[in-house]
Amino acid sequence: MFELAAIFGGSFILALSGALMPGPLLTVTVAESARIGFRAGPLLITGHAVLEFLLVIAIVVGLGPFLKSPSVMAIIALFGGGMLLWMGVDMVRNSSALSLNRQDTGNNGKRTPHPVLVGILTSLSNPYWTLWWATIGLGYLIAAMKYGAKGIVVFFLGHIAADYAWYALISLGITRGKKLLRDRSYQIMIRFCGIFLIGFGGWFLLSAREYLIRGFPGHSG
């Protein structure tokens, strides 16, 4: 039970670290929240969640046996760990310059697709999303897969809960028209998540070493 709680907590913070960084989905959420209100955030993330659910299923069903190879797991852990370290350092270093007030709203008179579809398309168009899942997300999913279906479900629930929580907060703040979350608080959250990513990166790199040792035939450990 503790292991599943740890998977949920780790997945939540790891996903929150990615969600907090300004990107296409944040920009769209700000614009749509100003246009249609609070429901924009949850609807956009529902589209995002559908896409990620399909991706997780594809990984588990199609790539599961392949990913069990120690050499493959080592490569994933190495790239994931390196990516985490780079992101964590970058987040801590640049946190003081970040702001939630840079909005590019417009197109008020134009008819736009349903927010769920917009969430899917925006996620697909973001190279960072693909890179995140190819390295960090994949590495943590492999760790969760050791606990079977329960581990996968808990991992996904933790991941999606972070996305819903953050983007609902953004939509609420925009809709209410007040500073629900100030830049200073946002910057502190970024620093915290950056430190968390650095620690996670170190853990991934240590895991890579273990997988590499296990991959050498005849090694006694």
Predicted confidence (pLDDT) per residue in 70-97, tens digit: 777 778 778 878 877 887 888 888 888 8
Residue 48: both structure tokens together: 């995002």
Residue 141: both structure tokens together: 């999913």
Q: How many helices (H) and strands (E) does the chain have?
A: 10, 0
C-alpha distance across the termini of the chain, in Å: 29
> Does residue 221 lie in a domain region?
no
* Percent of the chain clearing pLDDT 90 (strictly above): 19
CA distance 188 to 194: 10
What residue numbers bound the domain in which 192 lies?
Answer: 2-214
Q: How many separate domains does the chain show?
A: 1
pLDDT at residue 100, rounded to an integer: 62
Most confident of 34-48, 72-86, 128-142: 34-48
Residues of the chain by 3-state class (helix, strand, coil), percent to 5: 80, 0, 20
> Does residue 187 lie in a domain region?
yes
Residues in the chain: 221
Contact 123, 51 (CB under 8 A): yes
> Does residue 63 lie in a domain region?
yes
> Does residue 197 lie in a domain region?
yes
Contact 174, 30 (CB under 8 A): yes
Average pLDDT over residues 20-34: 80
> Does residue 89 lie in a domain region?
yes
> Does residue 34 lie in a domain region?
yes
pLDDT at residue 8, rounded to an integer: 93
pLDDT at residue 220, rounded to an integer: 45
pLDDT at residue 179, rounded to an integer: 55
Return phi, psi of residue 197, to 5°: -65, -40
Q: How many CB atoms lie within 10 A of CB 151?
A: 19
> Does residue 219 lie in a domain region?
no
Predicted confidence (pLDDT) per residue in 198-211, tens digit: 887 888 888 777 77
Q: Which residue type is seen at 158?
A: G
Helix (H) or strand (E) holding 140: helix 138-145
Predicted confidence (pLDDT) per residue in 145-172, tens digit: 888 889 999 999 999 999 999 999 988 8
> Does residue 220 lie in a domain region?
no
